Amino acid sequence: MNEEGSGTTPAETARAEAKAFFRDGEPLLEVCEDWGDSYRILEEDGKVLIQGGKTGILYGVWQRILDCLCKRRSSAERRSPRCALRMLQCWDNMDGTIERGYSGPSLWFEKGTVSFDPARLRMLGRLLSSVGINVLCVNNVNVREPAQGLIEEKLPELRSLADLFRPYGIRLMVSVDFSQPIRAGLADADPLNEETARWWQRTTDRVYEAIPDLAGYLVKADSEHRPGPFTYGRSHAEGANMLARALRPHGGQLVWRAFVYNCMQDWRDDQTDRPAAAYQTYAPLDGQFDDNVVLQVKHGPFDFQVREPVSPLLFGMPQTRLGMEVQLAQEYTGQQIDLYYMAPMWEEVCRDLGEKRPTILAAVSNLGRDACLTGDPLAMANLFAFGRFAWYNEARPKESAEEWARLTYGFTPAEEEKLVSALLGSRRVYEKYTSPLGLCWMVNPGVHYGPSPDGYEYQSWGTYHRADRNAVGIDRTKTGTGYLLQYPPALQERYGTLERCPEEYLLFFHRVAYDKVLRDGRTLIQRIYDDHFEGCAEAEKMAAELETLPFPGEEKPLILDRLSRQISNAREWRDVINTFFHRLSGADDGMGRTIYP
């Protein structure tokens, strides 16, 4: 991307981008005041007219550019985004580190201050707006000093970021600390204390004087030791509404995360079931949140595992504005070393949600200061696909992978086919060598990369598979923890019996004996062995295919390095997990392959 095209309003940016890209054959642009993010592209007698709202006009220009690069006609339909809020949430700390970041340091924080290369951030603004992102939350949800200052003494620094992204139709959001009034000298942060509410109102008024179009606040409360309303015996509706009311006069949104569970569980306690926690906390509060609150729910009930069923909370609060959170940062899914294209996961979740498909989406960012922005250049496919998924109802994983590959590399059709099929198969391959059949949490604790079958088994995080010499998995049906009952009846039916439960979720919902014969005729233990052997072999094959592709000079070494690390990782997973189950079960592999004693 070059630097041309940065205007002061999105419409000016749209004009500059169109001029720079189309040069002589510039399309006509017409701003329709009340169209918002919508646009329409009309082609007649060789002339092109793009009509769009104040931000929609920019999306229209990006789409026209994309259509031209993909050598296809533009649709004449008026297009509106599926999601009004298409948020990228960055877990950047002000010391420059990124929680769960795999792409180098923060692009805008360094040594406790806001510090950035304006040209690079303008490039980023173009990139994000070109995929349709319209909200950027700049700091970690775990708000630690000095990030609290972003809405106080460091407000001018926050403003410099907002000014920079505004021309691209991107509004800033900031993560705030629920206990922040205490930092300012108040006795407590009780949401029902009028002093607390007044403090937030004053502070928020000042924030909006500096940044009138701030999208709002993001809050992680009472989660993993963060402060929250529970300290004062208040509900999360009371906590969220107090903040939402400070934002309301300014049109701001309060995004409240529903990632609440007991992270101090005793592993001996088999009654507390972490996946059930969010629903237990929030479903009773349905209808109590103000209408500028968004309750942001992770797509699965655990925490971005390789495969999880859809979170039941996404069905359970019809009177609440719900947003769904996905994670582009590959915390549990290969850390931007192993290839893992995520769009098929989102499609699967939305398929199960049916008409409850969310219209507010947030993604945890996978960006950093690395030259290619995403550590692994191929991880950019996830950001692209997320933007398309949030904007276009009909965006499909395959289509997004093809578009991204075409726009990025301009390969021959055969080469493009290889890349797209690697992307589309990558999730299943990763799942097979790490955690097939709904196994979760066999990662190394803390870092979350590489195998450690018992690493989380005797810890306080509620993360158990409870493998013993006879069986593995947790019964979450009504004969077990009862978690299944949080789902609507159709999903209870689907997940509730061994016969019907999709195999990918088997050990998530059921406790199964190793010698149980599964639907495909193999025993559970044989499936565990087979999946790990196959996943590893498939990773090797995929790497061999990708190595033949003519990636650009600066990317090739990065990609090759990651492919070879992926193969080592896959072999380690295969051997560690198979050996773990072999030792426990005493069952030999029916194929006589090497399992280390």
Phi, psi of 532 (to 5 degrees): -70, -40
Rounded to a whole number of angstroms, the minimum distance from the CB of residue 230 to ligand GCV is 16
Rounded to a whole number of angstroms, the minimum distance from the CB of residue 229 to ligand GCV is 17
Q: Which is nearer to ligand GCV, 91 or 168 (CB)?
A: 91
Given its phi and psi angles, is residue 457 left (phi above 0), alpha (psi -120 to 50 degrees) or beta? alpha
* Residues 188 to 227 in contact with ligand GCV, rule: CB under 6 A: 220, 224
- 299: contact with ligand GCV by CB under 6 A: no
The answer to whether 410 touches 416, Cβ cutoff 8 Å, is no
Q: For the packed helices 236-247 and 194-210, what is the interaxial angle rounded to 10 degrees? A: 40
What is the C-alpha separation between 357 and 459, in angstroms, rounded? 34
Rounded to a whole number of angstroms, the minimum distance from the CB of residue 366 to ligand GCV is 14
What is the C-alpha separation between 37 and 537, in angstroms, rounded? 46
Q: Which is nearer to ligand GCV, 258 or 501 (CB)?
A: 258
Which residue, 267, 301, 270, 310, is CA-closest to 475? 270
Q: Which is nearer to ligand GCV, 340 or 581 (CB)?
A: 340
What is the C-alpha separation between 570 and 547, in angstroms, rounded? 17
* Residues 237 to 276 in contact with ligand GCV, rule: CB under 6 A: 259
Phi, psi of 83 (to 5 degrees): -115, 130
Is 415 noted as a catalytic residue in this protein? no
Rounded to a whole number of angstroms, the minimum distance from the CB of residue 298 to ligand GCV is 7
Rounded to a whole number of angstroms, the minimum distance from the CB of residue 203 to ligand GCV is 23
Q: Which is nearer to ligand GCV, 54 or 100 (CB)?
A: 100
Rounded to a whole number of angstroms, the minimum distance from the CB of residue 377 to ligand GCV is 24
Element (H, E) at 164: helix 155-165
* Residues 339 to 398 in contact with ligand GCV, rule: CB under 6 A: none
Burial 342-366, CB ≥16 within 10 A → b, else e: bbbbbbbbbebbeebbbebbbbbbb
- 141: contact with ligand GCV by CB under 6 A: yes
Taking CA atoms, 152 is separated from 166, 179, 248, 484, in Å, by 21, 14, 19, 45
Q: Which is nearer to ligand GCV, 23 or 225 (CB)?
A: 225
Output the six-digit token pair for 371.
């030259």
- 142: contact with ligand GCV by CB under 6 A: yes
Element (H, E) at 401: helix 397-409
Output the six-digit token pair for 62.
């990006």
Rounded to a whole number of angstroms, the minimum distance from the CB of residue 163 to ligand GCV is 27
Partners of residue 298 on adjacent β-strands: 325
Output the six-digit token pair for 246.
């400070």
Is 555 noted as a catalytic residue in this protein? no
What is the C-alpha separation between 313 and 280, in angstroms, rounded? 9
Q: DSSP letters along 462-528, please?
A: S------SSEES---STTTT-GGGGS-HHHHHHHHSTTTS-GGGHHHH--EETT-B-TTS-BHHHHH
- Looking up tokens 């019907």 gives 500
- 303: contact with ligand GCV by CB under 6 A: yes
Query: What x/- string results for residues 44 through 83 when contact with ligand GCV is judged by CB under 6 A?
Result: ----------------------------------------
Give the total of residues touching ligand GCV (CB under 6 A).
9
Kindly name the residue from 224, 266, 269, 417 that is annotated as catalytic.
224
- 540: contact with ligand GCV by CB under 6 A: no
Output the six-digit token pair for 420.
């797209």
Q: Which is nearer to ligand GCV, 364 or 528 (CB)?
A: 364
Q: Which is nearer to ligand GCV, 91 or 551 (CB)?
A: 91
Output the six-digit token pair for 16.
């500059």
Kindly name the residue from 17, 37, 190, 303 that is annotated as catalytic.
303
Kindly name the residue from 37, 177, 331, 348 that is annotated as catalytic.
331
Q: Which is nearer to ligand GCV, 76 or 447 (CB)?
A: 447
Q: Which of 21, 39, 91, 487 forms a contact with ligand GCV (CB under 6 A)? A: 91
Which residue, 403, 348, 328, is CA-closest to 101? 328
- 102: contact with ligand GCV by CB under 6 A: no
Q: Which is nearer to ligand GCV, 113 or 142 (CB)?
A: 142
Which residue, 518, 471, 524, 477, is CA-closest to 496? 477
Q: In angstroms, how far is the first alpha carbon of the chain from the final one?
A: 53
Rounded to a whole number of angstroms, the minimum distance from the CB of residue 221 to ligand GCV is 11
Rounded to a whole number of angstroms, the minimum distance from the CB of residue 141 to ligand GCV is 5
- Looking up tokens 């996946």 gives 275
Q: Which of 99, 152, 416, 457 forms a contact with ligand GCV (CB under 6 A)? A: 99
Is 331 noted as a catalytic residue in this protein? yes
- 100: contact with ligand GCV by CB under 6 A: yes
Partners of residue 86 on adjacent β-strands: 361
Task: State the residues that interact with ligand GCV by CB under 6 A.
Answer: 91, 99-100, 141-142, 220, 224, 259, 303
Could you give the residue numbers annotated as active site? 224, 303, 331
